[in-house]
Homo-oligomer: A and B are copies of this chain.
Amino acid sequence: MQQTAKTMKDVARTAGVSVMTVSRAFKSDTSVSEATRIRIRKIADDLGYVFDSTAANLRTQKTNFVAVTIPSINNANFADTVDALSDRLAEAGMQVLLAYSGYDMAKEEELIEQLLRRRPEAIVVTGGRHSERARKMLKNAGIPVIETWDLPKDPICHVVGFSNAATMHGMVDHLVAKTMTRIAFIGGDTDGDTRGAERRRGFIAAMQRHGLDPGRLIGAGRPPISMREGAGAMGRLLDTMPDTQAVICVSDLSAFGALTECQRRGVSVPDDIAIAGFGAYEIAGISHPTITTIDPQPRLIGTRAAELILQLLNDPDDATRGPRTIEIDWQLRSAQST
């Protein structure tokens, strides 16, 4: 287990050929006799040789991977985006290097630096808010940069996302159409989750547009808020503003937590209070009642981002046409909880 890894030189010596021939035997397009190629590959396999991409990357100045930052692994939405992105890039022979920031902008900055040190071909970041230094590094990297899951006012470069605020206008409209006027919002109480904060702002704006009181805001702790925190927040809402007719939760997970708290207290959903979430998580479709939610089409975000990257990499001239913004449609999914 502790011997050092083999190099092409070892393979070449064993095969009695030059290192260059070994190199050629591992690429499909170059000219090596089929017999030699097979022989070399077999020898390499027997020796347990594994190609060293560090060296190849340096020489060719190509790394064939795309860096991606997400706030959290263990989030079905981001997982879907990454999954779709990986699938599409894999078709073009590219890999994804994934890192997560834990909803922490300082950590994100560090991640971005570490990722850029590895010289990705492109980088995809989640969200539209980053530290100044992170923005500068991204602008200077000389590679395509794509911000996702948001529509930043001042984008770094390309964008594939949607307006989180707009989704809340959609949700408030939906509830108002059901004659509800006393509507609350449950979310995290810091801006660590910038998309969540954006949704809260959207909620406030939407309520004001309808001439309704936007003051029923419950902070449920440090984002991302969990089922349990959603339940706790719902408890506080029912205690302090019992005449509330509907509550929008920052995610389906907190919405489900809120739902369990209602069930525990014998509060009927949606008859006594309506509940809405965000994200179209599986649980929204399977809980009793099913939960009204917003589907932000996470896989589509990933696919579109991948396609944009491939286009930019294949046609560098194209890049001079300037930053592109691709807006993704979200959908309101009405269910039993409202």
Query: A5 contacts the other chain (Cβ, under 8 Å)?
Result: yes
Which of B119, B228, B288 is in CB contact (< 8 Å) with A52? B119
Closest to A3 in B: B142
- Does chain B have a CB within 8 A of A212? no
Contact of A97 among B79, B97, B142, B157 (CB under 8 A): B97
Measured between alpha carbons, how far is A53 from B115 in the docked complex, in Å? Answer: 10
Residues of chain A in range 270-289 having any CB-CB distance to chain B below 8 Å? 282-283, 285-288
Assess whether A82 is interfacial by the CB under 8 Å rule: yes
Minimum CB–CB distance from A309 to chain B (whole Å) comes to 13
Which B residue sits closest to A63, measured CB to CB?
Answer: B54
A227 touches B3 (CB 8 A): no
Pairwise interchain contact A54-B142, C-beta atoms closer than 8 A: no
Query: Is A95 interfacial (CB 8 A cutoff)?
Result: yes
Picked from B1, B52, B143, B228, the residue with its CB within 8 Å of the CB of A286 is: B228
Q: Which of A13-21, A69-77, A186-194, A195-203 contacts B (4 or more CB under 8 A)?
A: A69-77
**8 Å CB interface, A108-150 against B:** 113-114, 116-119, 136-137, 139-145
Q: Report A's interface with B, CB cutoff 8 A.
A: 1-6, 48, 50-55, 57-58, 63, 72-76, 78-80, 82-83, 95, 97-99, 113-114, 116-119, 136-137, 139-145, 157, 226-228, 231, 256-257, 260, 263-264, 282-283, 285-288, 316, 319-320
